[in-house]
C-alpha cells in the first residue's frame, strides 16, 4: 500500500506524519500522532465519538481522509484546553455530572465546541439537534444539555 508524508496542523503544532493514502484523520490521530482521546467506534460516522474540530467545525474524523486535512487546523480533545486550564465545556461536563462511562465524552465535548463557535447562546432544542449525531448509551442527555448551556453562559461571561 502506498504511503506519503502528510503535513497537518494539530492542536496548534505542525506535525508531519507518514501514512497510507487512504488513511483517515482518525487513523493518523490515534496511530502516528498517539492522540487517543479521539475515540474509535463505529467507523461510519454513526456514533460521533471520533468528532474533532476541522477549521473550527465539528467533523467525524473516521470519514475524513488525512489528505483532506493538509494545512488545515485540527483540534482534538487534547488541544481544547488553553494554558493548562480546562475548556469551559470540560469543566461544565464535570460540574454537571455529564460524564458517566466517559467513552463518548470527547466526541460530545468536541461537537459542543463546534456548536458554541457558531452559536453563543443556543437553546435546548439547538443543543439537542447539534448533539443528535453523538450517541451516549449511559444517559438521557439532560445533564449534557445542562452542561453545554452552562459552558455557553460561562464563555459569554468570559469565564
Q: Which cell is 125 given?
A: 432544542
Q: What is the CATH number of the domain that holds 65?
A: 3.10.20.30
Per-residue pLDDT of the chain (159 residues; tens, 9 = 90+): 789 999 999 999 999 999 999 999 999 999 999 999 999 999 998 899 999 999 999 999 999 999 999 999 999 999 999 888 999 999 999 999 998 888 899 999 999 999 999 999 999 999 999 999 898 888 778 999 999 999 999 999 987
Residues 57 and 115 in one domain: no
DSSP-assigned letters across all residues of 51-118: EEEETTEEEETTTSBGGGGTTSEEE-GGGSSBTTBPPHHHHHHHHTT--SS-SSHHHHHHHHHHHHHH
Residues 22 and 71 in one domain: yes
Burial class, 100, CB count within 10 angstroms (exposed 0-12 / middle 13-18 / buried 19+) = middle
Residues 48 and 113 in one domain: no
Residues 70 and 107 in one domain: no
- Number of structural domains in the chain: 2
Among 79, 105, 131, give the residue marking a domain's end: 79
Tell me the whole-structure pTM to 2 decimals: 0.93
Q: Which cell is 153 given?
A: 453562559
Residue given cell 460530545 in the structure block: 108
Could you list the residue range(s) of the whole structural domain that residue 141 is in? 88-156
Amino acid at each position: 500500500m502506498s504511503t506519503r508524508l502528510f503535513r497537518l496542523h494539530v492542536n496548534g503544532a505542525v506535525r508531519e506524519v507518514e501514512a497510507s493514502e487512504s488513511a483517515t484523520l482518525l487513523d493518523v490521530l490515534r496511530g502516528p500522532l498517539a492522540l487517543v482521546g479521539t475515540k474509535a467506534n463505529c467507523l461510519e460516522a454513526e456514533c460521533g465519538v471520533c468528532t474533532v474540530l476541522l477549521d473550527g467545525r465539528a467533523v467525524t474524523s473516521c470519514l475524513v481522509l488525512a489528505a483532506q486535512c493538509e494545512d488545515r487546523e485540527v483540534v482534538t480533545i487534547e488541544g481544547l484546553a488553553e494554558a493548562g486550564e480546562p475548556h469551559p465545556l470540560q469543566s461544565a461536563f464535570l460540574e454537571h455530572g455529564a460524564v458517566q462511562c466517559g467513552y463518548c465524552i470527547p466526541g460530545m465535548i468536541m461537537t459542543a465546541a463546534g456548536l458554541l463557535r457558531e452559536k453563543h447562546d443556543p437553546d435546548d432544542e439547538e443543543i439537542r439537534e447539534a448533539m443528535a449525531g453523538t450517541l451516549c448509551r449511559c444517559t438521557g442527555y439532560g445533564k449534557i444539555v445542562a452542561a453545554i448551556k452552562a459552558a455557553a453562559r460561562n464563555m459569554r461571561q468570559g469565564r
